[in-house]
């Protein structure tokens, strides 16, 4: 059974959504409690807690999505490199073969 935030955001299927909500709730608790301990104003502390939730959640969301995009780019480059390695291995286009041929001719 999946958990839907605001009725439409499925937290389990969207990458980084679960962690963003968890870190946002922790940020909300820290900011709200910290403001309450500093000022003893309940209503204002709740406002700060909501702001802390939104800012922490969005901050972690963008950080997580950025690192996920970087990881996908690295995976795509690695997959392409492995494909090229298998394709060119042993042919005259193989860079390792050119290096070994150059070393043999220098000796």
Domain limits, the chain? 15-84
Report how far residue 54's alpha carbon sits from residue 73's, in angstroms, rounded to the nearest whole number: 28
pLDDT at 21 over 90: no
pLDDT at 39 over 90: yes
Dihedrals φ, ψ of 10, to 5°?
Answer: -80, 110
**Per-residue confidence band for 103, with pLDDT thresholds at 50, 70 and 90:** low
pLDDT at 9 over 70: no
**Per-residue confidence band for 104, with pLDDT thresholds at 50, 70 and 90:** low
Q: How far is CA 58 from the centre of its chain?
A: 13
**Per-residue confidence band for 7, with pLDDT thresholds at 50, 70 and 90:** low
Question: pTM here?
Answer: 0.69
């Amino acid at each position: 059974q999946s958990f839907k935030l605001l009725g439409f955001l499925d937290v389990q299927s969207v990458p980084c959504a679960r962690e963003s909500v968890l870190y946002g709730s922790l940020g909300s608790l820290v900011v709200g409690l910290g403001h309450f301990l500093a000022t003893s104003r309940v209503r204002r502390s709740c406002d700060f807690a909501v702001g802390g939730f939104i800012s922490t959640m969005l901050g972690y969301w963008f950080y997580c999505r950025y690192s996920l995009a970087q990881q996908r780019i690295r995976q795509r480059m690695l997959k392409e490199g492995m494909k090229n390695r298998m394709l060119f291995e042993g042919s005259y286009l193989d860079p390792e073969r050119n290096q070994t041929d150059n070393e043999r001719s220098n000796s």
